[in-house]
Structure 1
Amino acid sequence: MILHARDVIPQAVDDQLQRDLAQLLDNVPPQYVVGRAPFFDHWFHVTPAVLIPRFETEELVSWVLSDQRDAQSGLDLGTGSGAIGITLAKRLPRVRMTLSDVSVDALAVSRENARTLGADVQLVQSDMFTDIPARFDFVVANLPYISHDEEKVMDASTLAYEPHLALFADNHGLALFQHFFGAITDHVRRGGAAYLEFGYHQQPALARMVSVMLPSATAEFRHDMAGLPRMLKLQF
């Protein structure tokens, strides 16, 4: 910087800098300002059409990676940016990964990330399992699980700029889990598994739902690095 202290900043660069600073001052998440976010060992393109990948979700992916070395097929349901499914495809190259989302705009982002990162994945537009007829060795899903009642305690930047379609669910944030539990046995092979992320206070409700809706499945809950219950595995 000292060597070039007298250099004139190109007008285009200065204009972009001013736009970026204005967005940051307006509380736009920096990942949206620069258009990318890290996840595992890759950078993913992100736009306001998708959630910003969270570090905590890497723990869910690590669980899948440790379990599914011999799997042949997997589904990332509600893929968003594709961070989960593309990471699995890159780390488990023998697994045929399908990435689905209800949002066309989100699928455009995940498609770009798959192309940029050289991931061989199938992309499907689907509202939950509606247009997914196949069965998979495993299904992983980071579904919307925030209750609208929690808006008052949420980060203002998240609430203002991240897609509400990917954040909120009815029935105290449990509606899509109920949908998932009601359909999962038609989409996972015998001996297969499903992995889910959930809100730290939702474990008791989810345990009750699983016992009623999936009595033959084995449920395992795990805590995240902060010591909070955040992950569920269903073994079929």
Structure 2
Amino acid sequence: MQLSDESEPALLRLLAWLDRQGYDFVTPTPATHARVTARADKAEARSLRDIFGWSLPFAPELLPSTPTEALEQAGLLRRAGKLLRSGVRASRLGGRLFLHSAYPTEQKDAIFFGPDSFRFVDFIRSELPRAGRVRRLVDIGAGSGVGAIMAAPLLPGARLTLVDLNAAALRLAVVNARHAGVAVEAIEGKSVDDVSGLVDLVIANPPYVMDGEGRSYRDGGDMHGARLSLDWTLAAARRLEPGGRMLLYTGVAIVDGRDALCEALERALPDLGCGLRYREIDPDIFGEELEKPPYADVERIAAVGAVVEKARVAPRRARPL
């Protein structure tokens, strides 16, 4: 998705217009989206939800001039013969609208939003009351910005930093944040190491699928897609202030009943002065991935939440006898 700085005012107008219309849509998984849009009555858009939710082609007269001009000014109005398409979708979560990539999300720089976004937000909001006062939150791989934006009401006065290697994602996240009335700073980078200084709260929902097409929003590397989750977590553990935390939401492949990510974190985190709480949030997600060759030995993919906490006092080293 190509977005320029000039596209931000147009997209803010689009979000404001959709809110005034009472627009509402919950984005499902790509597999569900494909099944629904394959139905005969989904060949052409009949409503705003068809245009901005189901990403269906629409007749020009179906959409009023305000949103049409906003899409055109943002460079996100697509031609499909005599019909048009929107280059973005809009979804509502917790009463707030978020822009993200239109379906199908085949581009390498696509900006994902879906069921994982809901589980991620539920997880971080359930854990934030235990975090105490937070001065700075860093959202790694921020994507649409949903994590930091939805955490903001629970973190009064905190500085919110969004990090993503996808420049278009950062621009769209800033638009989503401004529409929500949340102040953020955006940094183009790969991990917490691209942020200066110590941090007292890191949140992340990394890509966790082995993706043969190398799409940045999906491809989590080796370990059946868990490599990026492990690398981001260990990098954050090194940068946390004493008493600081990382909240990781991700997916893991379960092989013969074992979770390789959990085992790797349990081995590595004590040497970094960190403790770990770890739990399954959903035992079976994205089951369609198991039909692909990289998952031939995987029995299920689970959504998990990990809480990494840096010790407030460094443990004493044993004195030599």
After TM superposition, the score normalised by the length of structure 2 is 0.56
Corresponding residue for residue 197 of structure 2: 134
> In the aligned structure 1, how far is the partner of 2:303 from the partner of 2:207?
16
Indicate yes or no: 2:262 matched with 1:207: yes
Q: Name the residue aligned to 2:215.
A: 164
Match of 1:43, SS state, is: strand
CA contact (8 A) 2:139 2:163 kept: yes
Partner of 1:81: 144
Question: Which residue does the alignment assign to 1:194?
Answer: 246
The aligned residue for residue 98 of structure 1 is 161
Matching residue of 1:230: 304
Asked which structure has the greater RCO (Cα within 8 Å, sep 6+), the reply is: 1
For residues 229 and 243 of structure 2, what CA distance do their matches in structure 1 show?
21
Distance 2:268 2:193 in 1: 19
Distance in 2, matches of 1:112 and 1:34, equals: 13
The aligned residue for residue 3 of structure 1 is: none
Mapping 1:46-85, distance limit 5 Å:
46-48=100-102, 49-54=110-115, 55-85=118-148
Cα offset, 1:68, TM superposition? 2.8
Aligned to 1:155: none
Q: Is the 8 A contact 1:89 1:121 kept in 2?
A: no
Structure 2 unaligned residues grouped into runs of 5+: 1-58, 65-76, 103-109, 285-301, 311-321
Q: Distance in 2 between matches of 1:166 and 1:82?
A: 13
The count of residues paired between Structure 1 and Structure 2 equals: 203
Cα distance, 1:12–1:78 mapped onto 2, change above 3 Å: same
Task: Give SS of 1:120's match.
Answer: coil
Mean CA deviation greater in 44-53 or 103-112: 44-53
Q: Tell me by how many angstroms 1:90 deviates.
A: 3.2
* Contact 2:237–2:274 (8 Å) recurs in 1: no
Q: Root-mean-square deviation (CA), in Å?
A: 2.9
Residues 126-135 or 166-175, more deviating: 126-135
Partners in 1 of 2:183 and 2:129 — Cα distance? 21
1:7-26 equivalences under 5 Å are 12-14=60-62
Whole-Å separation in 2 of the counterparts to 1:222 and 1:106: 29
User: Residues 170-217 of structure 1, C-alpha deviation per residue, up to 9 Å, x if partnerless?
Assistant: 112122123224422332111111111121535721222112221232
Q: Deviations over 1:96-130 (max 9, x none)?
A: 11111111010010011111111011111111134
Would the alpha carbon gap of residues 47 and 234 (structure 1) be closer, same or farther in structure 2, given more than 3 Å must change? same
1:181–1:213 CA contact under 8 A, matched in 2 = no
Distance 1:138 1:219 in 2: 14
Q: In the aligned structure 2, how far is the partner of 1:221 from the partner of 1:41?
A: 29
Residue 112 of structure 2: SS of its match in structure 1? coil
* Larger Rg computed on CA atoms: 2
C-alpha change, 1:226 and 1:211, in structure 2 (3 Å) is closer
- Distance in 2 of aligned mates of 1:88 and 1:189: 20
Q: What's 1:8 paired with?
A: none
Measured in 2, the distance between the counterparts of 1:36 and 1:124 equals: 23
Residue 277 of structure 2: aligned partner: 220
Is there any run of 5+ residues in structure 1 with no aligned partner, and where? 1-10, 23-27, 152-158
- CA pair 137-180 structure 1, distance change in 2 beyond 3 A: same
Pick closer, same or farther for the CA change 1:211–1:135 going to 2, 3 Å.
same
Q: 1-side partners of 2:231 and 2:176: how far apart? A: 28
